[in-house]
Amino acid sequence: MRALRIALLIITAIALVVNAVVHLRLAGPFDAITGALVSQGTLFRIQAAVNIAAALLLISRTRWASALAALVAAGGLALVVITTLVPLDLSPIGLPFLFEPIWYADKVIAALVQAIALAAGLAAALLRPRPAGPVQP
């Protein structure tokens, strides 16, 4: 059980880091899409930083860190899907217009690794460690 939980934490961390790398790589080209406060490239950098922070928190191996990592992944996955299907005009709050109705390789990779991080992070958070005690024959 312990080995499974550690494997799930590693999978979650790797998926979050892959998502961060994809977003950091895409940030430059998306700087052109601006809002009053930030560009979409800046939002990508923020998302990458949050993913890296969540991955680093997994070192603590606590249940809340796994749940937080799953929440980060769920939010990122939701944004990828929503901004593909629905035009989001966030300009009233200073953010850029978010709508990109096409799927391309980096976007698919980001969605997949966020789904993996969500599933593995939730599973790790829900796994209960066995109580310590004498081994039964």
pLDDT of residue 30: 96
By C-alpha distance, which of 10, 126, 121 is closest to 76?
121
pLDDT of residue 133: 56
Question: CB burial class (10 A; 0-12, 13-18, 19+) of residue 117?
Answer: buried
**Would you give the DSSP letter of residue 89?**
E
Q: 94 by DSSP, 3-state: which? A: coil
Q: Indicate if the pLDDT at residue 131 is higher than 70.
A: no
* Stretch 118-129: mean pLDDT: 90
- The share of the chain scoring above pLDDT 70, in percent, equals 93
pLDDT tens for 56-113 read: 999 988 889 999 999 999 999 999 999 999 999 999 999 999 999 999 999 999 999 9
Domain positions in the chain: 2-126
